[in-house]
């Protein structure tokens, strides 16, 4: 008896499904659906679009640094430390002069003294840095490039701190504070002693630097 019950139930279920499908077919098209469907559909579409826009906005927001970052405006020679929208430090800086110096003996080769633009990271934090003068520093002064590496080292010209951001570029101090606010450097970013100390304290290795 129990064995028969299961097939009977299955047949009954099938019959019910067929009947309900046939009944639903009997609803005449045009009774009410076409009047209400576009309005409902539009509302659904709008909600989907709103949701999509909000999700994308959120995704973009999540790409923004959630730690303090350094922002450098090379046109106006300003350096800011910002945390989201808040300005934590605002300093007058000196950035690249944009001038060129030809490499002696190499007709097509030259140095261009621009501060690089784009996104960088603080790669190193130094105290009492020594400037290892590159070739251009001697050539610019009309001096011979020394053979001995020790002759390139110069103490006290970069201030008490330096923050390296790659390819030999640093945020450092300066002896020429009267030139702050002008484009006079060979690509590095110069600050006065107080601002440099502030940036050094706020930044860590890995802090993003945005330069435009």
Partner 1 sequence: MNFCAIVFLLVFAAPSWGKDIEAFPDLNLNDPKELKEASRVLEEELKLAARPQTYLLIDLSGSIIHIKGRGIGLHQIPIVTWSAGSRDGLKGVHRLAARPPVVRRKIEPGAGIEQEPISLADMPTDYVLSFSPSLRITVVPSVRGDSLLQSAVLLGKVGWRNVKDWTNWLWTDRSSDSSAYLRLTLSVDHAQSLAWSLVDGMALVIRRPTNK
Q: Going residue by residue from 105 to 134, which x/- string records binding to partner 1, judged by CB under 8 A?
A: -------x----xxxx--------------
Q: Which 3 state secondary structure label does DSSP give 15? A: helix
| DSSP-assigned states of every residue in 21-71 | HHHHHTSPTTSSHHHHHHHHHHHHHHHHHHHHHHHHHHHHHHHS-SS-EEE
DSSP β-bridge partners for residue 208: 121
Nearer to partner 1, 126 or 184 (CB): 184
Nearer to partner 1, 3 or 167 (CB): 167
Q: Going residue by residue from 19 to 58, which x/- string records binding to partner 1, judged by CB under 8 A?
A: -----------------------x--xx--xx-xxx-xxx
Minimum Å distance from CB 109 to partner 1? 14
Nearer to partner 1, 16 or 56 (CB): 56
Work out the burial of residue 8: count CB atoms within 10 Å of its CB; fewer than 13 is exposed, 13-18 middle, 19 or more buried. Answer: exposed
In 3D space, the residue among 67, 93, 59 whose CA is nearest the CA of residue 78 turns out to be: 93
In 3D space, the residue among 84, 79, 90, 32 whose CA is nearest the CA of residue 62 turns out to be: 84
Among 10, 100, 132, 175, binds partner 1 (CB under 8 A): 100
The residue written with tokens 């009309």 in the block is: 142
Nearer to partner 1, 17 or 143 (CB): 143
Minimum Å distance from CB 57 to partner 1? 4
Nearer to partner 1, 161 or 203 (CB): 203
Near partner 1 in 74-93, by CB under 8 A: 74-76
Phi, psi of 156 (to 5 degrees): 80, 0
Among 88, 137, 139, 157, binds partner 1 (CB under 8 A): 139
Is 157:190 a contact under the CB 8 Å cutoff?
no
Piece of the chain touching partner 1 by CB under 8 A; list 18-26, 29-37, 98-106, 193-201:
98-106
In 3D space, the residue among 69, 123, 168 whose CA is nearest the CA of residue 79 turns out to be: 69
Contact positions vs partner 1 (CB under 8 A): 42, 45-46, 49-50, 52-54, 56-61, 63-65, 69, 71, 73-76, 97-102, 104, 112, 117-120, 139-143, 182-184, 208, 210-212
């Amino acid at each position: 008896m129990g064995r028969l019950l299961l097939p009977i139930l299955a047949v009954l279920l099938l019959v019910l499904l067929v009947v309900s499908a046939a009944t639903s077919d009997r609803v005449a098209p045009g009774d009410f659906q076409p009047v209400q469907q576009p309005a409902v559909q539009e509302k659904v579409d709008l909600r989907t679009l709103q949701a999509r826009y909000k999700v994308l906005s959120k995704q973009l927001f999540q790409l923004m640094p959630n730690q303090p970052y350094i922002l450098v405006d090379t046109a106006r020679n300003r350096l800011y430390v910002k945390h989201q929208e808040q300005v934590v430090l605002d300093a007058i800086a000196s950035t690249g002069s944009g001038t060129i110096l030809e490499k002696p003996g190499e007709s097509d080769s030259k140095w261009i003294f621009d501060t690089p633009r784009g996104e960088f990271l603080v790669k190193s934090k130094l105290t009492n840095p020594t400037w290892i003068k590159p070739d251009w520093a001697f050539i610019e002064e009309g001096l011979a490039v020394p053979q001995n590496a020790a002759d390139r080292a110069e103490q006290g010209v970069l201030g008490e701190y330096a923050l390296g951001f790659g390819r030999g570029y640093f945020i450092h101090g300066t002896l020429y504070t009267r030139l702050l606010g002008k484009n006079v450097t060979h690509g590095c970013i110069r600050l006065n002693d107080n601002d440099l100390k502030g940036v050094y304290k706020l930044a860590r290795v890995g802090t993003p630097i945005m330069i435009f």
